[in-house]
Copies of this chain bind each other. A is one copy, B any other.
């Protein structure tokens, strides 16, 4: 799939078919993360692939604002290790994973993990206390339906500026 078409058509997906995701596809998603750029090429990340139904179900119970994890065939936890720009670098790897997943017919939806949920997920997945758990990314094949128009975006003029903040960006 063309990269811009992938970016432009990608939607957040919270419902998946029960079809298992082949290992080759999971491997490709992990490669996309592995090849993401990171600050000073420190690659300060770890990716935990979860497929065990009991663990997936428990993630769904813990992450109350993203209970749909419990219905996903697989999920990847993103964990940062002593990273200077943990969230920014995680976001870059995350986005490469999301795009690759979309191009393979999968859907993803980032799930934030708040407060005491952090401790519960870390205990469940055996993540050392000193590491930073950024998110768990559930994924699975998309349920086919009419393509939606996508969540609305702010108009370009509201988020872009020319030369200085507050100056209108004009194109010749």
Complex Cα–Cα for A109 and B137 (A):
27
- How many angstroms from the CA of A48 to the CA of B41 in the assembled complex? 26
Interface contact B23-A171, CB-CB below 8 Å:
yes
On whether the beta carbons of B90 and A49 are closer than 8 Å, the reply is: no
Contact of A87 among B37, B91, B95, B125 (CB under 8 A): B91
A146 interfacial by beta-carbon distance below 8 Å: no
Question: Contact string, A113-127, partner B, CB cutoff 8 A, digits 1/0?
Answer: 000000000000111
Bound together, the chains give a CA A49 to CA B171 distance in angstroms of 11
Given contacts A30-B160, A49-B163, A161-B46, contact A35 B95 (CB under 8 A): no
Size class of the A contact interface (CB-based, 8 Å) = 35 or more
Count copies of this chain in the complex: 2
B43 in contact with A159 (CB, 8 Å) = yes
Contact across chains for B37 and A110 when beta carbons are under 8 A apart:
yes
Query: Distance (Å) between the CB of A105 and the closest chain B CB?
Result: 13
Q: A4-B28, A7-B100, A126-B166 given. 12 additional CB < 8 A pairs?
A: A4-B32, A4-B103, A10-B37, A31-B156, A34-B153, A35-B150, A36-B95, A46-B159, A48-B162, A51-B163, A88-B91, A128-B165
